[in-house]
Every structure is written in C-alpha cells, then in structure tokens.
Amino acid sequence: MESSVSGSSEVRKMPTAVEAKIAPSMLSSDFANLASEAERMVNFGADWLHMDIMYYTLHGPDRLIGVNLQDGHFVPNLTIGAPVIASLRKHTKAYLDCHLMVTNPVDYVDQLGKAGASGFTFHVEVSKDNWQELVKEIKSKGMRPGVALKPGTPIEDVYPLVESENPVEMVLVMTVEPGFGGQKFIPDMMNKVRTLREKYPELDIEVDGGLGPSTIDEAATAGANCIVAGSSVFGAPDPAHVISLLRTSVNKAQKTV
Ligand code: DX5
Ligand code: ZN
C-alpha cells in the first residue's frame, strides 16, 4: 500500500507506516482465569492477545510414533490447544494471535480455525516442505498466516514465504529460544528485524521474548511493529502503562521511517 503526498508541483509516493500492535502473551496470565485475564488486558489497551500453543508430541515430522523424543518435540513445554481457544473465544472478540510451537502445525489448522483463532503463526523450521499448502489452508479457514523463526534460523529462510504469490502476512522474529516466558532478550536478533524492515517496508514484523520497557526502543527502531510481551506486562504494577509505553516507542520509530 502506498499513499500519495501532493506538493504544489509534485506527487511523491511515500510508504505507509505499519501500525503498532501490542500483544500481551497470555502465557504469563493466570490460566485458571483466562477469560478475565483477557478482558483485563483488552481494557488495559492490548490490540492482540498472544496465545502460545506448545504441544508435546509423540510423533516427529515423519509422523512415526515413537521417534526419538528430543527430535519429535519442538519445545520442552506444554500449554494450551484448540479447546482452550474455543472457550476463550466465547468470552472475547479480541484478535487471538496464535503462535504454534508444535512439530506438525498443519494438524492444527482446522481445529484452530473452528475454535476462532485470528492469526496462525507456524515455525519455518518445521514447515520447509509444506508451507505453501499450510498458508493456503490457514487462509481458507479465515485466519491470517504468519511465519516464525527461532534465534538460530537464518532470516533468508523466510524470504520465499513473504515473496510467494500466496504470502504470509507477518514474520515473527523470536528474540529468545521458544518454550518459556521470562527469558532474556537476545539483542543480536535486531539484525534480522532491520534486514526484514529494509526489504519489506509494509510487512508486519513481530518480536517475541524479553520485550519490555528496557528493550522496546531497540526493537522498535530496528523496525518491529507487533510486540509480544508476557512477563513485563503481567508482572508490572501498572500493565496499562507498560502497554502504552510499548506503543509509544513503536509509533515514534515508525514516524521516522
Ligand atoms: C516463548 C513465547 C513467548 C513468551 C514471551 O516461547 O513464545 O510468547 O510468552 O514471554 P516474555 O515476554 O516473558 O519473554
Ligand atoms: Zn510466542
């Protein structure tokens, strides 16, 4: 998308700044009170609710039951699945930004679509062979496709997915190793964000892991506009203040684009 800026004698094309989306990570919420936690975050000013779906599976990419446990698991944790998303959907209209940390994301497209997920972000590391089919499926179920990459994965791996005729609409740059909240932000990942922003001025670029008041400026100036924040929001005495601070930083950085 481009907007025209008319001067007295010229019409210039300017890139449209991307919008800030602040997404508290519900992984840091009280799971026993998910509906009220979601409502609280929306009232505090959240744009999206980030839902970390981690599944401890007994089959690997080859779908053989009983593969080496380490190889078969995407992350060493287990969180929520489609039934919980479906329950939460009954209590909120919020955009549910689902981050799939599972070995076979294609297995969850149908059930998450039916459950009312809004965004479906899968990891590139486990989707090398079927991302085209996956993106098509995600869109056909009315969800917005995104691709995530772990800290060790080169940024070039996501280019084909962004440049495809049927592209993903967001890239999630992991700024910690996926699996748990409350870890330390990895500043080196900002090189990936900068590279992406230079290449794709209008792409939604999400960062996830260790974001908060002390790291947001670095992420925002690198070009990130979708900000996931778990412990820094839920652990704050004034979560609304943190959400607003994250938004201000993104908006300020976008103005200078
Ligand atoms: C980690 C998850 C994150 C996590 C972020 O695997 O993808 O969404 O909740 O938590 P904080 O913001 O506490 O690092
Ligand atoms: Zn996440």
SS3 135: helix
Tally Cβ neighbours within 10 Å of residue 65.
9
How remote is the C-alpha of 2 from its chain's centroid? 24
CA–centroid distance, 27 to ligand 1, in Å, is: 7
Cα torsion at 71, 76, 79, 83 (round to 10°)? 10
CA–centroid distance, 64 to ligand 2, in Å, is: 27
- What secondary structure does DSSP assign to 169-215, as a single string? SEEEEESS-TT-SSPPP-GGGHHHHHHHHHH-TTSEEEEESS-STTT
CA–centroid distance, 237 to ligand 1, in Å, is: 19
Check residue 132 and give its pLDDT: 98
**Active-site entry in 30, 188, 208, 217:** 208
Q: Which residues of the chain have pLDDT under 50?
A: 1-10, 12, 60, 62-71
Check residue 57 and give its pLDDT: 58
Q: Torsions phi, psi of 89, nearest 5?
A: -55, -30
pTM of the model: 0.91
Mutate which of 49, 54, 176, 234 to test ligand 1's pocket (most atoms within 8 Å of Cβ)?
Answer: 176
Query: Pairing mode, if any, of strands 11-15 and 2-6?
Result: antiparallel
Q: How far lies 69's CA from each of 85, 168, 207, 230, in Å?
A: 27, 30, 28, 28
Ligand nearest to the CA of 179: 1
- Work out the mean pLDDT of the chain and round it to a whole number: 90
SS (H, E, C) 52-111: EEECCCCECCCCCECCCHHHHCCCCCCCCCHHHHHHHHCCCCCEEEEEEECCCHHHHHHH
Q: Is 204 designated active site?
A: no
Check residue 13 and give its pLDDT: 52
Check residue 58 and give its pLDDT: 55
Tally Cβ neighbours within 10 Å of residue 83.
10
CA–centroid distance, 75 to ligand 2, in Å, is: 12
What is the Cα–Cα distance from 206 to 161, expressed in whole angstroms?
Answer: 15
Check residue 74 and give its pLDDT: 80
Check residue 154 and give its pLDDT: 97
Ligand nearest to the CA of 216: 1
Check residue 69 and give its pLDDT: 42
Q: Which residue has the tokens 């998303």?
A: 85
Q: Can you tell me which atom of ligand 1 is nearest the CA of 50?
A: 8
- The binding-site residues of ligand 1, defined as CB within 6 angstroms of any ligand atom, are 25, 27-28, 50, 52, 99, 176, 178-183, 208-211, 228-232
Q: Is 107 designated active site?
A: no
Check residue 257 and give its pLDDT: 60
For residue 236, the one-letter residue type is: A
What is the Cα–Cα distance from 49 to 24, expressed in whole angstroms?
Answer: 6
Ion ligand 2 residue ranges (Cβ < 5 Å): 52, 99, 208
Closest CA to 65 of 100, 103, 101, 108: 103
Mutate which of 208, 216, 231 to test ligand 1's pocket (most atoms within 8 Å of Cβ)?
Answer: 208
Check residue 68 and give its pLDDT: 38
